[in-house]
Amino acid sequence: MGDFYYFVPGVSAVNAAAIRALGLAGSLGEHYEQGTVDSGPGGAFGTMLQASGQKRPLRCDAEAQDWFPSVPKGGVPAAYWLGFETAAPPGPADLIRERVIPGADVVLADGNAWHCPTARWAAGESGLPLRVGLDAEGRRNMSVVERYAELWSMAMEVLAELAAIGGQGEQAGGMTFERALAIAAAALGANYRVGLLEVEALGLLTTDLYGDVLRALVDWAGMLDLEKKTAPAS
């Protein structure tokens, strides 16, 4: 069992606003603990954080831990660092969110099954929670809740890409490899406390696996099956 550490250099403490500004709110969760360390990654003074309930000391040990900067290239100092115990990298059971969006299990490069959410099912209905409201005429109006609105938009982007390339995952359409990875990471982030940095640090995706996550996001297999069932008999 493992989890992530986060290290913010040059500060003795961080508040909720700073965590949101760093983009760590989704990865740390609502409850976290922090502590000051004199020598973090690269020997810098700063603050380490972890999700609450880990029952482990906040310490930096370069020999026992793997650390990755949030800005890996370009000479820009990292806003924060991501780390985990080398012998106990976190897995899906460690990072699962309280609310899980239904979808499909996909075995990723760490050998574990990760539950990838389905934002849009084959028949066209949303797999994401919907807000029930009223329009200007008093008629019932349903829309994807704000928390998942961006994921829904990404799913529509994936659907258009898969339709253009036949669902195989190669970048024959307009989507770049970097964009595809970002969407795959965001999809995993709906059900787990991960973002792109966490996904890449754990080495979860390969060039033949990221497409499985994207296809799960839009129930591509269900769409193909539906097409077969509704196709006119020859």
SS (H, E, C) 129-147: CEEEEECCCCCEEEEECHH
Q: Evaluate if residue 181 carries a pLDDT over 60.
A: yes
What pLDDT, in 10s, does the model give residues 128-156? 999 999 888 889 998 999 999 999 999 99
d(CA 159, CA 217): 9
Q: What residue segments make up the domains of the chain, in order of their start?
A: 5-90, 93-230
- Which of the residue ranges 60-69, 92-101, 165-174 would you say has the lowest mean pLDDT? 165-174
What sign does the CA torsion over 197, 198, 203, 206 have? negative
Beta-bridge partners for 120: 126
| Average pLDDT, integer, range 66-85 | 84
The answer to whether 118 touches 212, Cβ cutoff 8 Å, is no
For range 162-183, the mean pLDDT: 77
The whole-chain average pLDDT of the chain stands at 90
The separation between CA 10 and the C-alpha centre of its own chain, rounded to angstroms, equals: 27
Number of neighbours of residue 225 by Cβ within 10 angstroms: 12
Q: Are 3 and 94 in contact (CB under 8 A)?
A: yes
Residue-wise pLDDT tens digits, 8-29: 999 999 999 999 999 999 998 8
Local structure of residue 9 (DSSP, 8 states):
E
pTM reported for the whole predicted model: 0.90
Separation CA 73–CA 75 (nearest Å): 6
d(CA 36, CA 2): 21
pLDDT at residue 74, as a whole number: 59
